[in-house]
Structure 1
Amino acid sequence: MSDSSSADKPPEKTNKPSFDSESFLASCSQKPGVYQMYDANGKHLYIGKAKHLKKRLASYFRPQTPGSKTEALVRKIMHIDVTVTGSETEALILENNLIKAERPPYNILLRDDKTYPYIFLSSAHEYPRLTFHRGNRRAKGEYFGPFPNRYAVRESLSLLQKMFKVRQCEDSFFKNRSRPCLQHQIGRCSAPCVDLIDKKDYADTVRKSTMFLQGHNDELTNEILKEMDSAATDLEFEIAAEKRDQISHLRVVQEKQYIDNGRGDIDIIAAATASGHACIQVLYVRHGRMLGSRSYYPNLGLIENQNDLLEAFISQAYIASGGGLGSVPSELISNVTPSGLDGLTAALSESSGKQIKILSNVRSGRARWLNMATETANQNLTARVNNRQQVRDRFEKLQQDLQLTDLPERIECFDISHSSGEQTVASCVVFTHEGAKKSDYRKFNIEGITGGDDYAAMRQAVER
């Protein structure tokens, strides 16, 4: 069900805004829905949702609007579209989809288009290998993950090398070996390339690696413990010592990474705000094991408190997008209660097709990890704010040294490189008051100049 209403009139030479809010509000619906605000050019300014549209929209046009950002927004409004929905849950899902599609400047925006890495176990080879993988999952085999970053993948692969010695080399390297490589010599590969392990034993190490990656560590530990006892009984002490080392590695992982005795999937989310900036720290727990964490620094837009910030973050990160690691966990734990908790929980459950819980009052292990996430968010935010202030101080010093009238807004730095006059390339790095702006970095292939002529290369790069 949808219903759109809007009102505007030609600009007048008065101090009043050109948008006629009184006429608009007089006919505005009192049902739940989504509203879209536009500027004079018909571009989106802000998209929001409300349980009671008329009350929510009226709050923007009160004599004392809450905050300078809201005042700036209201001055730019020329048109508002309203879409009535059947419930607050429908409004939240629609709002989330519209924000992602339109990316309005006054909404919180999560700029995170990175793909997440996996551990890949090949199945097309008689001696499968484990390897780092990022991108499309088209090759035959099993994918474990996703992981929050490449460091978490590398750490898991390194541990698997120590415990089970499954090969991680390329197939081309494997086929051309006539003697064991360095990985075997340092005890990190069983050297199936030169038949130092038979297929049955190698398949067993692959199975155990799979159990570890699937989070079945208790069963795996018990199985290896029985194998160690059996080897010791048969006086095979070298094998027993190897099993002992595997158990030791597994217990270290449990001590460092396990959040509790359960096997649940949990995301722990902590928000911190200061000086108009925000940091959201997310810890990822899968099968009861801590995989790692990730920091987000969203643009606050009109948001003025952590409750609204978490509502906006969770709706964008988890509704219809699969969550931070590709799937919505059954439990989210946050350091403050998100605004609109009931509607947010209902929307998450409907979007994911399973029951989702959002908690903020937790105990024991969960409380410890929540405190860790909160402290990390505060530390990261403090460091980011301080760094940006240092960058601004440098801009002001540059303005003073160069005796500039206005403070520089952007600095572009160019450099030329070539190999003995050939294959000339130019690079450009960009700095703003926010620091390095890597999205604007550029590299240019320089053509049509005399080899070694850096001046001509620089001119071509700047003109381009």
Structure 2
Amino acid sequence: MAANEKIKEKISHLPHKPGIYKFFDENGIIYVGKAVDIRKRVSSYFNRSAQHNKKTLKLISQIQDIEFTIVDTEADAFLLENNLIKQYQPKYNILLKDGKTYPYICIVNERFPRIISTRNKINDGSRYFGPYASVTTMNVVLDLIRTLYPIRTCTYNLSPENVDAGKFKVCLEYHIGNCKGPCENLIDETTYNQNITQIRSILSGNLSVAKNYFKERMAAAAEEYQFEVAHQYKQKLDLLDDFQAKSTVVSNTLSNIDVFTITSNDKCSFINYLKVMNGSIILTQSLEVQKKLDETDEELLATVIVQLRHEFESTSREVITNIELQLPLDNVTVTYPQIGDKRKLLNLSLKNAMYLRKEREGRQEKNKDLSEQREIRVLETLKKDLRLTELPRQIECFDNSNFQGDNPVASMVCFKNGKPSKKDYRHFNIKTVVGPNDFESMYEIVTRRYKRLLEEKQPLPQLVIIDGGKGQLSFAVKALKDLDLWGKIAIVGIAKRLEEIFYPGDTLPLYIDKKSESLKLIQRLRNEAHRFAITFHRSKRDAGTLKTELTEVKGIGLSTAESLLAKFRSVKKLRELSQDELAQEIGQRKASILYNYFHNVA
């Protein structure tokens, strides 16, 4: 059954139910999609081809099989699609970088808990806060906590038995005031755990517990005329106020909200995510997403929201966005505020997304300008080195290839503005020359190339390079003269051995500095033309070998050999076929002959 018939058969049996579908090529999954109605969605790829862009048409052309999974709701399809994309990473799906692990702040589950940073979240009873998109942000929070509270950093097992037995001694951290010495019972467990409780509140985004505690202590110390102690608590309050001032967005009334904004150009989307707790931004993330199939902003943002909420373990029940979209997540409301504090928050997120877009587009434009400047510089150098009358914006290079006189072929590669223009590359089968005559072959291909350009009124190159010595160059010059192009196109030859540049009629070659950018460009052209010719020659030679071997099998004629060649391309693939598979192509009798030949069956 042909591939397209197989696909049509598959589609006819797809269900009208919500779920996900997977497209396969010969190597595996290439796309995962979700749908409210699987059959309608999959059918649309094949029934509306005129409406698809080039990327989608390329995807469709590679589909060889389809699988599907039915789910209960559209929300389930959304989540399953996200999980499968992360698992298989299909080349036509939007892929966010998922290999990165973000850090957490961890309150370790132990007596006299430590506060540490970690990228490994273990189910050991410890309390984890995060993950943090920025290590810098996490370290600011850690520094604040360690400044406010004397928390131990040692890894001793401070069990009551060990401490009472006097196994440990206080270290430098105790003497400089960073630890209260729980290892020697210099601080009781209740007091220590009061500090841990306040730290939990700060890490959860609630600073009021710690602030009230410090205010009470400051007032009590002042009443007892302990002004140095009161000042210490005042400094801690100032630290919390400063931290909150830098973190507060618009209003303390905003709590547990996810904010997502998107802005796009033709190739990429730029997305910003803000996580807000108790009026403070506790997480911010901006990312650039490459479009794979010209997805809409709604499709892209919905995909990113699901993945980022999963990565950062968000439990927010409200998502604020700058575009309307359907987000089929249970107990999650999507809003598009127009005024008020939430609108200010949305504008802040959008400003971050726009900044990322401006920065990336500016960088791309700068790189493009630098690349263009370098290309012009190289072409100017080439013009000077070869004494050309105009800038060689279009350069074409010719090369011949044959193997012991068999299958003579040639190639022409074209560089425009110093870069390969592969759509202008050409292969040539030598038609008028018999035997290994590189000179006549060069005359033929140069004639054919520029005769056609003249007939089609296509632009001519400013420079032609012949891969070969004086002989091939002279025949290329003869071709230009016969076409009345002599003097209108600059032409040189390059000899492989010493990288000598020959001009028509000059007996002595030109040697360009080996480090020169212009010589490197000529070498790139020569090497590319050689590679292109060799590849074509090898495929043609292999095709000839296959035909010869097959036609030597008694009972296999030329037409049968050509038919098998057109479909399977190599003897190796034919050898791997079973007799029944061969019979489907050439009939039972010939299949038996060929199978016995390949496997030496008497």
Candidates 47, 54, 62, aligned match of 1:76: 62
| Alignment deviations for residues 148-173 of structure 1 (CA, whole Å, 9 cap, x no partner) | 2221221011112332343446669x
Matched with 1:313 is: 304
Partner of 2:311: 324
CA 22–170 in structure 1, closer or farther in 2 if over 3 Å, else same = closer
What is the aligned-residue RMSD (CA, Å)?
A: 3.6
TM-score (norm 1): 0.68
Amino acid at match of 1:299: Q
The aligned runs of 1:59-458 (5 Å cut-off) are: 59-61=44-46, 62-122=48-108, 124=110, 126=112, 128-137=113-122, 141-168=126-153, 184=177, 189-190=178-179, 192=181, 198-199=187-188, 202-259=192-249, 260-262=251-253, 264-286=255-277, 288-318=279-309, 323-338=310-325, 341=326, 344-345=327-328, 348-349=329-330, 355-361=331-337, 363-391=339-367, 397=374, 400=418, 401=517, 402-403=520-521, 404-405=524-525
Structure 1 residues 139, 240: CA separation in 2 closer, same or farther (over 3 Å shift)? same
Alpha carbons of 1:65 and 1:162: their partners in 2 closer, same or farther (altered >3 Å)?
same
Q: Tell me the distance in 2 between the aligned counterparts of 1:132 and 1:288.
A: 24
Residue matched to 2:2: 9
Aligned twin of 2:443: none
CA contact under 8 A between 2:205 and 2:282: conserved in structure 1? no
Shift of 1:181: 7.6
Q: Conserved in 2, the CA contact under 8 Å of 1:178 and 1:194? A: no
Query: SS where residue 281 of structure 2 aligns?
Result: strand
Deviations 1:304-348 (A, max 9, x none): 321111122223444xxxx2313432222222223xx1xx33xx3
Does the CA-based 8 Å contact 2:121-2:128 persist in structure 1?
no
Whole-Å separation in 1 of the counterparts to 2:124 and 2:344: 40
Aligned residues of 1:303 and 1:309 also touching (Cα < 8 A): no
The code of the aligned residue for 1:310 comes to L
Q: CA deviation at 1:111?
A: 1.5
Q: Which has the larger radius of gyration?
A: 2
Q: CA deviation at 1:107?
A: 0.9
Letter of the 2:94 partner, please give it.
Answer: I
Count of residues paired in the alignment: 372
Preserved CA contact (<8 Å) 1:117 1:132: yes
Residues 321 and 346 in structure 2, CA contact (< 8 A), matched pair in contact too: yes
Letter of the aligned partner of 1:77 in structure 2?
A: I
Structure 1 residue 385, shift from structure 2 partner? 3.5
Structure 1 residues 169 and 391: CA distance shift in structure 2, 3 A:
farther
- Distance between the aligned counterparts of 2:6 and 2:133, measured in 1? 48
Aligned residue for 2:31, secondary structure, equals: strand
**1:85 touches 1:91 (CA, 8 Å); kept in 2?**
yes
Residue 414 of structure 1: aligned partner:
none
Aligned partners of 1:271 and 1:374 also within 8 Å? yes
Question: What's the TM-score, normalizing by structure 2?
Answer: 0.54
Paired residue type of 2:115: L
Name the CA distance, whole Å, in 1 between partners of 2:23 and 2:28: 8
CA-to-partner distance for each residue in 1:48-95, whole Å, 9 max, x for gaps? 122233443343232522322112222223333344444323332332
Of all paired residues, the percent bearing the same amino acid is 25
Residue ranges of structure 2 left out of the alignment (5+ in a row): 158-167, 379-417, 419-516, 529-602
Structure 1 Cα separation of the partners of residues 307 and 51 of structure 2: 26
Distance 1:139 1:406, change over 3 A: farther
Change (3 A) 1:272 1:183: farther
CA contact (8 A) 1:279 1:380 kept: yes
CA distance in 1, matches of 2:6, 2:75: 30
Q: Which one scores higher on RCO, CA 8 angstroms, separation ≥ 6?
A: 1
- Residues 228-265 of structure 1 show CA distances to partners (whole Å, capped at 9, x for unaligned) of 22211111111111222222222222222234324732
Query: Is contact 2:133-2:285 (8 Å) kept?
Result: yes
Q: In structure 2, what is the Cα distance between the partners aligned to 1:407 and 1:227? A: 80
**Taking structure 1 as reference, are residues 324 and 333 closer, same or farther at Cα in structure 2, changes over 3 Å only?**
farther
Are the aligned partners of 1:19 and 1:77 in contact in 2 as well (CA < 8 Å)?
A: no
Determine the structure 1 residue equivalent to 2:20: 34
- Relative distance call for 1:64 and 1:168 in structure 2 (3 A) is same
d(CA) in 2 for partners of 1:71, 1:91: 24
Once the two structures are overlaid, the 10-residue window that deviates more, 26-35 or 105-114, is: 26-35
Structure 1: distance between partners of 2:80 and 2:370: 43
CA distance in 2 between partners of 1:314 and 1:103 (Å): 17
Show the counterpart of 2:28.
43
* Distance 1:88-1:406 versus aligned 2 partners, 3 A rule: farther
Q: Find the aligned partners of 1:373 and 1:205 in 2 and give their Cα distance.
A: 34
User: In 1, are the aligned partners of 2:317 and 2:332 still within 8 Å (CA)?
Assistant: yes
Distance 1:274 1:138 in 2: 43
The whole-number CA distance in structure 2 between the counterparts of 1:108 and 1:19 is 29
**CA-CA distance at 1:407 after TM superposition:** 12
Q: Counterpart of 1:121 in structure 2: which amino acid?
A: I
Deviation at 1:405, TM superposition (A): 3.5
Give the drift of 1:374.
1.3
The answer to whether the Cα contact below 8 Å between 2:174 and 2:181 also exists between their aligned partners in 1 is no
Moved more, 391-400 or 100-109: 391-400
Distance across 2 between alignment mates of 1:129 and 1:373 = 34
Name the one with the larger helix percent: 2
What secondary structure does 2:299 align onto? helix
Cα distance change on mapping 1:308 and 1:407 into 2, 3 Å: farther
Deviations 1:325-378 (A, max 9, x none): 13432222222223xx1xx33xx32xxxxx222223264333223222212112
Amino acid at match of 1:360: Y
Q: Which string of whole-angstrom CA distances, capped at 9 and with x for unpartnered residues, describes residues 257-280 of structure 1? A: 234324732222122222401222
Task: Give 5+ residue unaligned stretches, structure 1.
Answer: 1-7, 11-17, 350-354, 409-464
